[in-house]
Structure 1
Amino acid sequence: METKLSSEVLTKDNVDFSKMSEQMGDFLVKFWGVRGSVPTPGKDTIRYGGNTSCIEMQIAGKRLIFDGGTGLRELGEEIMQEIPVEAYMFFTHYHWDHIQGFPLFTPAFTQGNSFHIYGAIPPEGESMRKHFIQRVLHYNSPIPLNGIQADLRFYELQHGEKMMLGDIEIETGSLNHPNTAMGYRVTWNGRTVVYCSDTEHFPDRLDESVVSLARNADVLIYDAMYTDDEYHNPNSSKVGWGHSTWQEAIKVAKAAGVKRVVIFHHEPTHSDDFLDEIAKKVKAAFPQAVMAREGLVLPMGV
């Protein structure tokens, strides 16, 4: 079955989210936070958004959430309109910009909700549950630990592991990032979305782990934090910082045979106008590319 990708970019301004599943099918990707490293509210980031990484996938009645940056807080407000809810949360890694929304995620503190939380073993070697309860919540939430009323269940994954959520297949892969990170390949009904953030390309070759994970995907969401010029700037080199460029995103997409690539994890100093200029170059190099922005919805049509 061949996947047909919608050419329309849907946002919160032109679609009723409450009716999304009815209008656009059973596999939707929604962007709640698209910024890297640190939240960047302000007049220069209104169009693309300043919240850090958080992506939601609605698949055949299940809600999957990838990373818990500050975008997770706003997603939580939507979820609170639907309680009680059950959702599946997948973390690429535990750097602050990917978990900082969790202490403000109201559904986790609400009785009757259930969250299955997945990720790699934290670099300190402690369990995921201990890491979240002590390091994420205990030190960073004003709510006492006994205020966690939802049912939180933790599952540790290995790189290269495959798992099933009903008929949804999820495969993990290794990403090149300090203290490591985990990429995810999500497939349902012949359609595949790959989420690779955070990751840094290699100077002399493509990252075969990323290319393999993204092979023939319908959508690849890729860490394109810098431009090549920024990455190689001799006065402020970003080599070794664990992030990639939009030019490398295009290389990976072409090598992997990806249908659409989403430029994601925007650098905090990149204004809306700057990202608009990048968008023109990205489109010229890969016409089916999309710039991630808060409120973007990608329906995975058939």
Structure 2
Amino acid sequence: MDRIQLGNTVFEGKNDVYLLDGDRTVLVDAGVALPDVREQLRDGLADFGLAVADIDEILLTHWHHDHAGLAGELQAESGATVRVHEADAPLVAREESAVEANNDLLRDALDDWNLPADTRDELLDFFVFHDELAGADVDVTPFADGDTFDVNGRTLEAVHLPGHAAGLSAFAFDGDEGREAFVGDAILPKYTPNVGGADLRVDAPLQRYVDSLLRLVDLDLARAWPGHRDVIEQPTERALTILEHHRERTENVVGVLAEHGPCDTWTVSAHLFGELEKIHILHGPGEAYAHLDHLADRGVVERDGHEYELVEPDVDVAELFPTVG
């Protein structure tokens, strides 16, 4: 297995494309559809004596453009099979109904979170460019949780880990020192993957992500190969660290409501993150929403219109999260 790192001027950190070469040439993820990234991928393949035409299969961890954007043009040139979880397949395939529904969810969320008009316009202007990053049309072959793929004598198993994206999936395999996995953005070595704004189709996004973190813990991976930056040598510990991060963020949300009284999602986001720009205009309030939703589901806050009010000020937030170990 080899890694090709690609530039990423839109999202956090360099993207990783993993090359599984042998009788068949397989990529895990494909990078964003930008000219310089396209050339980086071609050059990276050439470093291993390969060309785009040699690609037989592309396994996508999820639909986000920085992971799937180049899949269409790679497929057009090579005839490669492109696989992604069934929940994300319509967006990767750019099915008109799926794209329109996702755009409707975005507009509804901006209303629901009570974004100021100028901030909303800034985000929507960003998405005019963002949509171009989706790249060419893709003929998608969907897979489901637990499906397996034979790659040059090694079996990869799809492990569905929703939260950051509805269809986000890892590909687990037996490595030299135990079980390993390509994990996409399920866990990252530096940043915590956004939950709540990164995929508006995910219901109860924080709970879904917590469940996925627990599933990663249960996998007891020896190493994880993320979608950005470098290998994670202790993935169980990283998953638990991210779980603790979300517990602390939930405490912070409770603290905002305790100090300032009823707030809408945008106001909570402003107290948590300050001024935001570009994609973070979506990710900030999305993260605040995920935690407010988690608290509302457990009766700690109540919603009235756009605002959330703290009704259980003495809550022990730790009791809202599972105890592991």
TM-score w.r.t. structure 2 length?
A: 0.43
Higher-Rg member (1/2): 2
Structure possessing the higher relative contact order (Cα contacts under 8 Å, 6 or more residues apart): 1
TM-score w.r.t. structure 1 length?
A: 0.46
- The answer to which structure has the higher strand fraction is 1
